[in-house]
Amino acid sequence: HSTDGTVYDVMVAGGGPAGSSVAAFAAMQGHRVLLLEKEEFPRYQIGESLLPSTVHGICGLLGVTEELESAGFVRKRGGTFRWGSNTEPWSFDFALSEKFAGPTSYAYQVERAKFDQLLLDNARRKGVEVRERCAVRDVLEDDGRVRGVRYTDPDGAERAVHARFVVDATGNQSRLQRYVGGQRRYSDFFQNIALFGYFEGGRRLPSPNSGNITCVAFPSGWFWYIPLSDTLTSVGAVVRKECADQVRGDRAEALSALIADCPLIADYLSGARRVTSGRYGEVRVRKDWSYLHDTFWQPGMALVGDSVGFIDPLFSSGVHMATYSALLAARSLNTALRGDLGERECFAEYEARYRKEYQAFHDFLVNFYDVNRDEQQYFEVARHVTRDTAAGAGAFVGLVGGGASDEAVLTSESYRDKRKKDLLEQSRGVHQEGHRIQLQAAFGEAVDDTPLSADGLVISQDGMHWEKSVTSSAL
């Protein structure tokens, strides 16, 4: 194995949204970062419907807001569902949650080839050394610590590279995740299979909902219907394991048969034709996607994005969880690299926050798959799993927009201001005057994070590190 002797601060395997985000967040702190991606971009990927938390929160932090704005992606104001005991379609807007109200109350439907390329190019501009067509094969371990990786370069040569931290962002098919120990735990509940293709000329909902994702329940499961441009639509059937027979055999025929079984989607596609050439020409199948790895890290290595976990396509949480995990992991890397705190404490913080967000989506989704309830009951479930008391659809939209964590950066400016005031107010009520002054001195006006537990860490003022909580150390 040839190695040039360079030791990177961070080496990221995989250049999807999770990999390019974690790499950029580390490079933006001045660390030396290498990213190795197996494919040559642009490459196809599924996961086209995004959330406001990603578009305004993470993408804002990454500095790609304007670029995204001018990329021509379809604006997604919310979702439209034919779901539950209500026989009529119902819609929600992201604006219904105060967490996204105002100028951040929309997301995008994206062609992932373009979106992922934009994020990877941004990582390069932020100083990440990106090498495509480099497949990472395994990790270099020494003395109980991961110290780099072995990979195959574009000429087929075996190479090794050393780094203080390795991040696995190689997604659903990751072969590296096993090196952190533990294992992927597959869900007993979510065992769905997806069959999906692309159509030209499908119907659009009337304005202002024309950019919404539409989800329609039907006997074997449900359909997604995602407008990717004025004329191109991503259409996928998500079917239960017991109906796996319906996705066997010729895929195009199977998809047509499923569409015929779902009157609303059949109607939307009545004047459309399936794309049969190019990137969107294939009918694809995906399964085995609902899992969570039971270990997030080992000394010198962490998992992010689909490598660590994914739940289900319903409510489009994938890219949100992938990029949010990238932000959480980047804070851990940045803090450990600076030597402020040990990696154990830093990665434990990442894991705790990720698990909380994952659990909220997971528990909500389990209840949402019970189609015998109506919207009001689903909204009640969202209040329960998030402990958010917002009335009406508020808690539900706060969750499915990606705001359950209450992370200031993922939510709207007005919500952030309100929350800051609430937190200061709380500190006034609960703590001694001296402690309040200490809090304010430490955070100034930036009191916008509370630790998850008594010994939990809080977000630093620059948003890119963890630090000890004044609350826990002062009490």
What backbone torsions phi and psi does residue 73 show, to the nearest 5 degrees? -70, 150
- For ligand FAD, the binding residue among 10, 13, 329, 381 (CB under 6 A) is 13
**Binding of ligand FAD at residue 177 (CB under 6 A)?**
no
- For ligand FAD, the binding residue among 18, 235, 262, 303 (CB under 6 A) is 18
Please tell me the distance from the alpha carbon of residue 329 to that of residue 180, in angstroms, as a whole number: 15
> Nearer Cβ to ligand FAD, position 319 or 382?
319
Minimum distance of ligand FAD from residue 301's CB (angstroms): 14
What backbone torsions phi and psi does residue 36 show, to the nearest 5 degrees? -110, 125
Please tell me the distance from the alpha carbon of residue 61 to that of residue 54, in angstroms, as a whole number: 10
- For ligand FAD, the binding residue among 297, 310, 354, 415 (CB under 6 A) is 310
Using the contact rule CB under 6 A, the part of the chain among 203-211, 313-321, 376-384, 449-457 near ligand FAD is 313-321
**Binding of ligand FAD at residue 106 (CB under 6 A)?**
no
Using the contact rule CB under 6 A, the part of the chain among 77-85, 157-165, 169-177, 351-359 near ligand FAD is 169-177
- For ligand FAD, the binding residue among 318, 402, 451, 456 (CB under 6 A) is 318
Alpha helices in 77-195 (DSSP H): 112-125
What would the x/- binding string for ligand FAD be over residues 178 to 197, using CB under 6 A? ----------------x---
Pick from 352, 341, 344: which is nearest to 465 by CA? 341
Minimum distance of ligand FAD from residue 308's CB (angstroms): 8
Q: Are 319 and 310 in contact (CB under 8 A)?
A: no
The torsion of the CA quartet 382, 385, 387, 390, rounded to 10 degrees, works out to 0
How many residues can be counted in the chain? Answer: 475
Size of the site for ligand FAD (CB under 6 A): 36
Minimum distance of ligand FAD from residue 22's CB (angstroms): 9
**Binding of ligand FAD at residue 404 (CB under 6 A)?**
no
Q: What share of the chain is helix, strand, coil (3-state, %, to 5)?
A: 40, 25, 40
> Nearer Cβ to ligand FAD, position 86 or 173?
173
> Nearer Cβ to ligand FAD, position 291 or 443?
291
**Binding of ligand FAD at residue 47 (CB under 6 A)?**
yes
**Binding of ligand FAD at residue 470 (CB under 6 A)?**
no
**Binding of ligand FAD at residue 221 (CB under 6 A)?**
no
Using the contact rule CB under 6 A, the part of the chain among 80-88, 163-171, 361-369, 376-384 near ligand FAD is 163-171
- For ligand FAD, the binding residue among 8, 11, 16, 99 (CB under 6 A) is 16
Please tell me the distance from the alpha carbon of residue 20 to that of residue 13, in angstroms, as a whole number: 9
- For ligand FAD, the binding residue among 57, 305, 309, 401 (CB under 6 A) is 305
Which tokens go with 384? 């329960």
**Binding of ligand FAD at residue 259 (CB under 6 A)?**
no
Q: Are 283 and 247 in contact (CB under 8 A)?
A: no
Residue type, 49: S
Task: Provide the β-strand partners of residue 159.
Answer: 2, 151
**Binding of ligand FAD at residue 148 (CB under 6 A)?**
no
Determine the straight-line distance between the first and last CA of the chain, rounded to whole angstroms.
Answer: 53
**Binding of ligand FAD at residue 214 (CB under 6 A)?**
no
- Residue indicated by tokens 């394991």: 241
**Binding of ligand FAD at residue 227 (CB under 6 A)?**
no
Kind of pairing between the strands at 291-293 and 135-142: unpaired
Residue type, 2: S
Task: Provide the β-strand partners of residue 364.
Answer: none
Q: Which of residues 265-304 bind ligand FAD (CB under 6 A)?
A: 286, 289
> Nearer Cβ to ligand FAD, position 19 or 398?
19
- For ligand FAD, the binding residue among 74, 118, 319, 333 (CB under 6 A) is 319
> Nearer Cβ to ligand FAD, position 15 or 456?
15
Minimum distance of ligand FAD from residue 39's CB (angstroms): 4
- For ligand FAD, the binding residue among 45, 177, 233, 471 (CB under 6 A) is 45
Peptide bond into 42 cis (omega under 30): yes
- For ligand FAD, the binding residue among 42, 121, 131, 135 (CB under 6 A) is 135
- What is residue 206's DSSP assignment? P
Please tell me the distance from the alpha carbon of residue 154 to that of residue 152, in angstroms, as a whole number: 7
Cβ-based neighbours of 101, under 8 Å, separated by 6 or more: 95, 412, 414, 415
**Binding of ligand FAD at residue 170 (CB under 6 A)?**
yes
Minimum distance of ligand FAD from residue 161's CB (angstroms): 12
Using the contact rule CB under 6 A, the part of the chain among 13-21, 203-211, 383-391, 428-436 near ligand FAD is 13-21
Kind of pairing between the strands at 33-36 and 7-13: parallel
Minimum distance of ligand FAD from residue 316's CB (angstroms): 4
Rg (CA), the chain: 22
What backbone torsions phi and psi does residue 152 show, to the nearest 5 degrees? -105, 125
Cα–Cα distance list, 472 to 85, 432, 456 (Å): 47, 14, 8
Residue type, 184: R
Binding stretches for ligand FAD (CB under 6 A): 13-19, 36-39, 45-50, 135-136, 169-173, 194, 286, 289, 305-306, 310, 313, 316, 318-320, 322
